[in-house]
Amino acid sequence: MKLFRKRYVALIVILGMFVTCRMEFLKFRKSEEKQASFLKENGVSDYRFGEIQVGNRKVHYTHVGADTLPVVLFVHGSPGSSADALGYLVNPGLRAFQRISIDRPGFGYSDFGRVEPSLKKQAECVAELLRRYPARPAVLVGHSYGGPVIARVAMDYPGLVDGIVIVAGALDPDLEPEYWWQKPLDWPLVRSLLPPAFRVSNQEIIP
């Protein structure tokens, strides 16, 4: 009986972890409806949501401002989503710009849960979006892991970039800490229990 109870408790704990890991707040994203509500509450009406296809990847983004204005594009960290830049999208000091916030591959609504470890391919996704706004080069803002992404965009596609702003970014692999738990978290059984956003975050930075 005691053995049965222990197994029963263990099963409940595992199921509880599985359900919790798939709750919406652990997806680190906001739906278009919630983003739209936030934008309208802050006096922004000229917004839209879009999606482009880059190879076999879907890339989702949030756009604010008139198409005739210069572009500032925000790239989030890991984990994260386009919603991380909502504060900038409603900032009155940036109304002279189009503000675009992108969901990096595997996060938000850009093939959520499907990792893309290649900086080159992530940069290609950003560049393809920038090509939709050809009037003038853009300023890119990258936070945390978004820093190396925008640095790679500037390196591979200099004609699309007017400048970059890196906020708390990670640029030198030799200076980045390596944690013992990163590879165990990618073991199949452990990985299957992780929230998708955490799994993608871990997989894209595993040495």
pLDDT of residue 96: 96
Asked whether residue 60 is domain-assigned, the answer is yes
What is the structure's pLDDT at 195?
85
Strands 57-64 and 98-102: antiparallel
d(CA 88, CA 85): 5
Q: Which residues face 53 on adjacent strands?
A: 58
Q: List pLDDT tens digits, range 120-173.
A: 999 999 999 999 998 889 999 999 999 999 999 999 999 999 999 999 987 766
- 33-78 tens-digit pLDDT: 999 999 999 999 999 999 999 999 999 999 999 999 999 999 999 9
pLDDT, tens digit, for every residue of 165-207? Answer: 999 987 766 667 777 778 887 878 887 878 888 888 888 888 6
CATH classification at residue 85: 3.40.50.1820
Q: Provide the number of structural domains found in the chain.
A: 1
State the pLDDT at residue 51: 97
| d(C-alpha 158, C-alpha 12), whole Å | 53
Domain holding 93, by residue range, is 27-205
Percent of the chain with pLDDT over 70: 85
Distance CA 108, CA 80 (A): 7
